[in-house]
Amino acid sequence: MARTASLSGFPEWLPEERLVEQHVLDTLRRTFELHGFSSIETRAVETVGQLLRKGDIDKEVYGLSRLQDDEGEEGKGKHDPHALALHFDLTVPFARYVVENAGYLAFPFRRYQIQKVWRGERPQEGRAREFTQADIDVVGDGDLPFRYDVEIALVIAEALGALPIPDFRLRINNRKLAEGFYRGVGLADTAGVLRSIDKLEKIGPDKVAELLKTELGATDDQVQAALKLAGIRTEDTSFVAQVRSLGVSNELLEEGLDELEQVIEAAVKRAPGKVVADLSIARGLDYYTGTVVETVLVGHEQLGSICSGGRYDALASKGNRKFPGVGLSIGVTRLVSRILSQDLAKASRSVPTAVLVALNADDTWGEAQDVATQLRSRGIATEVAAKAEKFGKQIKFADRRGIPFVWFTDDDGKHQVKDIRSGVQVDADPATWTPSDEDLHVQVTGVSPE
């Protein structure tokens, strides 16, 4: 497993690693569907104009052009807003999809979306150029009750809790709270303050203070207030009293306090220990308008956020019609990379196959296929040997592929099955024999740290 990708930033898994990824994806899908989220996929490409509509992220985008077309796609230069480029997240494409298909969707529309996205960034641990995201969002037509902010956080906590990963914390803040507070202390450029606060973990409070003073002209008092707010972190709703003790009054601040209180209150009850109010969370992207979330794996904080998102009230609109939404995005590749590199989970075997049907003569391939068909009809993954080699060689073949059982049929049509791990061989009827539940399908289980 000490392989390196042949193209930096484009990870590929071996079959036994892919089994771990599939387990993660299946678990997420199951949880999302149990909560009534519909699956959709959007095309991998958007127009450059659509992608660059929000935020200044153009340095990360891969543009497309047909190889034989030196002018770029259909004669367009790659900076032409109609040129095509690969999507860099699933939120912007989803907003476009909602607007285009509004007439065919029932609102509030709940969807999950699990797809690859691409960013032309410099690859490093936890950051790939091609990676899989798993998103859930709820989008309303006109308005969207705040309750969905609470629900989304709970669904994600349940989904992450079902994965073979270390303990995690959703760190939740609210943009209204922060922006209202900044306005309350007289800092009008709230987006600028958020951008600086967003750097807190990376550059530390002194440098953030410097930024706030030099770039936004903040006073010492304003800087101190902003940093005090960002320092508040509670596992219950006591953050409300701590904010109030800072003595700032503003209507938007009150609204934000009330919203964040609702999320934390529900989480304390329904996902105890999984959620903290963390008033340093800002999120760089500027389309968030309320709840904002980042998530860390406990003990793996340097990996960065494994699940982020929040409320966006103005990302999607069609004329006067607005489609406010709230959603969270799990960084599947980041999680799976960590699981694999630190052996946090393992597949019980490396192939789906439970049984290899051996051949005792080359012309018994048809009979062996009949046995296999009977086993498969009961959901037992089975393959048939291609050559009637010595049984020892066929057993070795099964062992090398990680197949637990080998099936033998002798010249008189007597059937036996051997568990090649224990060496135990017993008579068996292809019409009824079934392995234990643990051996029927590949099991992926978390490995406890020693």
User: Which residues, 324 to 383, sit near a copy of itself by CB under 8 A?
Assistant: 350-353, 365-366, 369, 376, 379-383
Tokens linked to 111: 């969807």
Pick the binder of a copy of itself from 24, 28, 45, 260 (CB under 8 A).
Answer: 45
6 forms part of the interface with a copy of itself (CB under 8 A): yes
Least distance to a copy of itself, CB of residue 109, Å: 8
SS3 341: helix
Contact 160, 295 (CB under 8 A): yes
Least distance to a copy of itself, CB of residue 411, Å: 21
User: Between residues 193 and 354, which has the closer beta carbon with respect to a copy of itself?
Assistant: 354
Least distance to a copy of itself, CB of residue 364, Å: 12
Of residues 151, 183, 118, the one with CA closest to residue 271: 151
Least distance to a copy of itself, CB of residue 22, Å: 6
Least distance to a copy of itself, CB of residue 428, Å: 18
426 forms part of the interface with a copy of itself (CB under 8 A): no
Stretch that binds a copy of itself, among 111-119, 212-220, 224-232, 424-432 (CB under 8 A): 111-119
Least distance to a copy of itself, CB of residue 25, Å: 10
Pick the binder of a copy of itself from 243, 263, 332, 384 (CB under 8 A).
Answer: 384
148 forms part of the interface with a copy of itself (CB under 8 A): yes
Stretch that binds a copy of itself, among 30-38, 207-215, 409-417, 427-435 (CB under 8 A): 30-38
- For β-strands 405-409 and 355-357, DSSP reports them as parallel
User: Between residues 13 and 391, which has the closer beta carbon with respect to a copy of itself?
Assistant: 13
Per-residue contact track with a copy of itself, 176 to 215, x per CB under 8 A?
A: ----------------------------------------
Give 443's DSSP letter: -
Q: How far is CA 234 from CA 223, 270, 396, 410, in A?
A: 21, 17, 57, 69
402 forms part of the interface with a copy of itself (CB under 8 A): yes
H-only helix segments in 115-161: 147-161
User: Between residues 93 and 304, which has the closer beta carbon with respect to a copy of itself?
Assistant: 93
Angle at 254 between CA 248 and CA 256, to 5 degrees: 115
130 forms part of the interface with a copy of itself (CB under 8 A): yes
Least distance to a copy of itself, CB of residue 274, Å: 15
Q: How far apart are CA 283 and CA 218, in angstroms?
A: 21
Least distance to a copy of itself, CB of residue 185, Å: 34
Q: How far is CA 388 from CA 15, 44, 140, 405, in A?
A: 26, 47, 63, 17
DSSP per residue, 155-212: HHHHHHHTSSS--EEEEEEEHHHHHHHHHHTT---HHHHHHHHTTHHHHHHHHHHHHH
7 forms part of the interface with a copy of itself (CB under 8 A): yes
Q: How far apart are CA 47 and CA 51, in angstroms?
A: 6
- Residue 146: what residue type? F
Give 54's DSSP letter: S
User: Between residues 62 and 391, which has the closer beta carbon with respect to a copy of itself?
Assistant: 62
Give 268's DSSP letter: H
User: Between residues 184 and 331, which has the closer beta carbon with respect to a copy of itself?
Assistant: 331
Cβ density class 14-33: b for 16+ within 10 Å, e for less: eebbebbbbbbbebbbebbe
Least distance to a copy of itself, CB of residue 387, Å: 6
Pick the binder of a copy of itself from 54, 228, 401, 415 (CB under 8 A).
Answer: 401
Least distance to a copy of itself, CB of residue 391, Å: 18
Q: Which residues in 220-259 contact a copy of itself (CB under 8 A)? A: none
Q: Which residues in 47-106 contact a copy of itself (CB under 8 A)? A: 47-48, 58-69, 73, 78-79, 84-86, 96-97, 100-101, 104-106
In this structure, what are the phi and psi dihedrals at residue 33, rounded to the nearest 5 degrees?
-70, -35
- Total site size for a copy of itself, rule CB under 8 A: 88
Of residues 376, 373, 343, 356, the one with CA closest to residue 418: 356
Least distance to a copy of itself, CB of residue 26, Å: 10
443 forms part of the interface with a copy of itself (CB under 8 A): no
Of residues 286, 290, 298, the one with CA closest to residue 327: 290
- For β-strands 321-322 and 291-297, DSSP reports them as unpaired
In this structure, what are the phi and psi dihedrals at residue 388, rounded to the nearest 5 degrees?
-85, 65
Q: Which residues in 8-27 contact a copy of itself (CB under 8 A)? A: 10-15, 18-19, 22
- Beta pairing partners, 382: 355
Pick the binder of a copy of itself from 195, 228, 233, 270 (CB under 8 A).
Answer: 270
Of residues 95, 160, 161, 127, the one with CA closest to residue 11: 127
User: Between residues 149 and 294, which has the closer beta carbon with respect to a copy of itself?
Assistant: 149
Of residues 290, 293, 298, the one with CA closest to residue 258: 290
